[in-house]
Structure 1
């Protein structure tokens, strides 16, 4: 997969439907229900299929099903062989060797076998192509793989590439040479940037595709068209039409076909404006899964109707929160900022730690999430730490427990940071922070522009909720101003930012994060002052630029802590504790306010629980491999039993 931002406006629109007709029976069954086909109704936006370059979740939702990686995760989340059948590291974990599977073939989008099979050289081609085309994942490899950073800055000759730390002793062996000890490297190779590319096919897609002589304008490899790549994964992309439909069909010759139970997956474009679409399809006997949406006027009727079947979906590894634009330069999307005085005042406020803490204390996150969900669901979505629960466990506790202990030491009092409850809401504390901010020169009231997708009623509800709670809990001293905009504008100014100067808001709730590999570094690095991915969303330039701002908000000090934690590579308990202190420091300085995870909710489905391959990182976060459908609806009791069995099996597999 990839380092990525997760678009909550996309995630919330997801619904799964099976291709069939007929009405559901009273026992939850349907005689016409097809268990081998799936339709996904989604606000999808495929930009490119070049899996070595893209870092967009919307792209990898497709390509993770089309091209396999060296390793993958099974349904319990354990690393298992994929294109590699075995792997090992040297004693200091600076050299990693992978042995490839025999007989893996490449195929065109029509299923025609490509003349040349998979070899180790394909991994070299993939890595070099990504470097040539300035992969959005290059930052992950620079300083990781020997010579990679130097190659990216070179003339990109064959001699330059020969110095890069990827070697192929034979056609079935790939060796990565790293610049330093990386104990979690095996979990990184589940990402697209490490995936193979067949050189002959690549260079057939245009003169600009040639290795060492890149020209994106003259290269059609990885464009958003089915014939732009070769396939070795479980599906082929047979059709794609932007903002209309796409279809995956099973790769009939896939090497692991026994674990692929769907013949096709069809994507139908939906902007999510019809909140009843999913449940309508489900009740017509066509859906495999649907959510019960609290925003429905007759929500209670549906809840009663499906009380035997409704279950709470599983937590996940993502973390969303409030992002501050610390250096706003664009004011095209605004409610207040045509007033130069108000504009300057807001800038001073967001740079003030006490102001940011006042906003956190005033923000009713449960009400915000509950504007479109019942309280039990809203609370279940709460996440108070900018990391994921599986980041690392020590003899002294889980990673989240380590963060809580570190924050207690830093803050001087204990704050419960567990998922499922929000510990920050406190009007009295909000007003105290406001008084401190006033003493430090912040003038109130402070206005904050908040971007909102105008076509999404549920997101408008959430924006209005945060505006209301913040206003009430600060006695009008902080005014959140929802700014309605179309999806494309919102994407350009608040999500897919190429230039920090185009971040056109004061605060945003539209970006989240999922881990790239099994280590807390994956999250902590996003706020690295040197090259952190969230810099753009905060309006900040990388490197030494904007240093004064970074120093003021605590980001420079945070970065030193992150860099020190990363140097601990042999004592994993010490490493996790050091990173936990970084996460605690982030909470203390409040330059990002984590508050939720990717959408959870009450669901009804005909998906066999826990059959889909699972991982909090890598290709399996988007892959349909393993997923099975069944004719009858899953009862809440059946789901609970399956969840208990899955959790026990997963725990046992980790011992």
Structure 2
């Protein structure tokens, strides 16, 4: 086996070396200038990998303290934005107005945009509950929060969260209530990005376009704050206190450490969540914002789920209830996952090891990988994928049944 490093600066060379047999697989860049020619030549061979465990999202700052990077010019605008963000109907309006497919297309291209979409923090197929996918259990619990969640499909690669009618209906409710509280419109949302990350800037611009188009720029204005790398990192990744989070909206994400829904959901626990402060409040604090958005309920759901150690199905169902609460709250807006990459390959589909967590499930793990003499066709890859998913579901169900014999009741 020979590994070759490529910095991505010349996507055409990758395809050429794949053609002449130097590479066993090659990533296709849908937004590159060479994509049309690649699609013309390999249109029957482009395949899309599975979506992996990393979940990305946009998160609201529910208790912003700093305003060094803002388009707001008055205290009234600052307080109005804070009050709006604390209003669940407002957050849901933004959630439903967010065209995630257009957002994903900024990096993946139109053809591949839906292939990376993720609608929940916990991947919908991460675990199963009595043979049913986790996401489907969440959907059943989600509809109990209101009619706005009817017909929402939380599976990966689905676009049903984007619904202009629902967005406008939720915003109308929010505006009526907020005006009674003296809130001034339009609401200005500072969305921070690194000015050197062109993809990030384009995604923010896409978010701005869809939200303002659906809700109206006279109601909501997304102010994109393009910062230097240092300034951006200092108010996002490099600070470990909520007070330094100088934004209304910013990106975040989570990589699972172990295969239990808690690995995702506990990260946003208001009690001890490791990235809870991304939402503008330190975990364990007594900020009024925690009460205002009813984060205490989420903490109770997590505590109840974590206490269940004798019945795995019951435990997962309780975590599904926590995910349903988080989805309904719209405090975070899930966007995309890693994986789902368009590529060409001369490797047997799904022959390598796979896992949601750990290094065994990454694209750089080559154990069991088999090579193919011919370039794999899309139809053959898709057939293998369907077969693999079916076998995986059966294997997961069997493993969970066997696990019951290893759990001791208290």
2:124, 2:154 within 8 Å by CA — same for their partners in 1? no
Q: Which residue of 1 aligns with 2:259?
A: 518
Q: Which residue of 1 aligns with 2:243?
A: 501
**TM-score, structure 2 as length reference:** 0.85
Q: Which residue of 2 aligns with 1:282?
A: 15
2:124, 2:136 within 8 Å by CA — same for their partners in 1? no
Q: Distance in 1 between matches of 2:13 and 2:68?
A: 39
**Deviation of the 1:583 alpha carbon:** 0.9
Q: Distance in 1 between matches of 2:191 and 2:26?
A: 30
Q: Which residue of 1 aligns with 2:208?
A: 467
1:282, 1:288 within 8 Å by CA — same for their partners in 2? no
> In the superposition, relative to structure 1, how do residues 408 and 371 fare at CA in structure 2: closer, same or farther (>3 Å)?
same
Q: Distance in 1 between matches of 2:222 and 2:294?
A: 24
Query: What is the aligned counterpart of 2:389 among 647, 650, 654?
Result: 647
Are residues 1:446 and 2:183 paired? no
Q: Which residue of 1 aligns with 2:320?
A: 580
> In the superposition, relative to structure 1, how do residues 338 and 600 fare at CA in structure 2: closer, same or farther (>3 Å)?
farther
Q: Distance in 1 between matches of 2:389 and 2:131?
A: 21
Q: How does 1:254-653 map to 2 (within 5 A)?
A: 270=7, 274=9, 277-285=10-18, 287-297=23-33, 299-334=35-70, 336-395=71-130, 397-412=132-147, 414=150, 415-438=152-175, 439-440=177-178, 441=181, 442-476=183-217, 477-509=219-251, 511-546=252-287, 548-622=288-362, 624-626=365-367, 628=369, 630=371, 633-653=375-395
**Deviation of the 1:638 alpha carbon:** 4.5
**Deviation of the 1:573 alpha carbon:** 2.0
**Deviation of the 1:564 alpha carbon:** 0.7
Q: Distance in 1 between matches of 2:144 and 2:66?
A: 39
1:278, 1:290 within 8 Å by CA — same for their partners in 2? no
> In the superposition, relative to structure 1, how do residues 462 and 596 fare at CA in structure 2: closer, same or farther (>3 Å)?
same
Are residues 1:39 and 2:16 paired? no
Q: Deviations over 1:356-403 (max 9, x none)?
A: 111112111111112343445222222222212344322362211100
**Deviation of the 1:313 alpha carbon:** 1.5
2:103, 2:207 within 8 Å by CA — same for their partners in 1? yes
> In the superposition, relative to structure 1, how do residues 502 and 38 fare at CA in structure 2: closer, same or farther (>3 Å)?
farther
Residue 275 of structure 2: SS of its match in structure 1? helix
Q: Using CA pairs under 8 Å that are at least 6 residues apart, name the structure with larger relative contact order, 1 or 2.
A: 2
Residue 155 of structure 2: SS of its match in structure 1? coil
Q: Distance in 2 between matches of 1:373 and 1:407?
A: 29
1:372, 1:458 within 8 Å by CA — same for their partners in 2? yes
Structure with more helix by fraction: 2
**Deviation of the 1:320 alpha carbon:** 1.7
Bigger CA drift: 534-543 or 397-406?
A: 534-543
2:76, 2:184 within 8 Å by CA — same for their partners in 1? no
Unmatched segments (≥5 aa) in structure 2? 399-410
Q: Distance in 2 between matches of 1:315 and 1:599?
A: 4
> In the superposition, relative to structure 1, how do residues 417 and 647 fare at CA in structure 2: closer, same or farther (>3 Å)?
closer
**Deviation of the 1:532 alpha carbon:** 0.7
**TM-score, structure 1 as length reference:** 0.55
Q: Distance in 2 between matches of 1:646 and 1:429?
A: 36
**Deviation of the 1:326 alpha carbon:** 1.5
Q: Deviations over 1:287-306 (max 9, x none)?
A: 55433333234533321122
> In the superposition, relative to structure 1, how do residues 496 and 38 fare at CA in structure 2: closer, same or farther (>3 Å)?
farther
Q: Deviations over 1:161-213 (max 9, x none)?
A: xxxxxxxxxxxxxxxxxxxxxxxxxxxxxxxxxxxxxxxxxxxxxxxxxxxxx
Q: How does 1:48-87 map to 2 (within 5 A)?
A: none
Q: Distance in 2 between matches of 1:371 and 1:577?
A: 35
2:353, 2:368 within 8 Å by CA — same for their partners in 1? yes
Unmatched segments (≥5 aa) in structure 1? 1-35, 42-269
Q: Distance in 2 between matches of 1:40 and 1:650?
A: 32
Q: How does 1:175-254 map to 2 (within 5 A)?
A: none
Bigger CA drift: 523-532 or 386-395?
A: 386-395
1:499, 1:536 within 8 Å by CA — same for their partners in 2? yes
* RMSD after superposition: 2.6
**Deviation of the 1:484 alpha carbon:** 1.9
> In the superposition, relative to structure 1, how do residues 601 and 625 fare at CA in structure 2: closer, same or farther (>3 Å)?
closer
Tell me how many residue pairs correspond in the alignment.
385
Q: Distance in 2 between matches of 1:641 and 1:457?
A: 36
Residue 597 of structure 1: SS of its match in structure 2? strand
Residue 39 of structure 1: SS of its match in structure 2? coil
2:50, 2:340 within 8 Å by CA — same for their partners in 1? yes
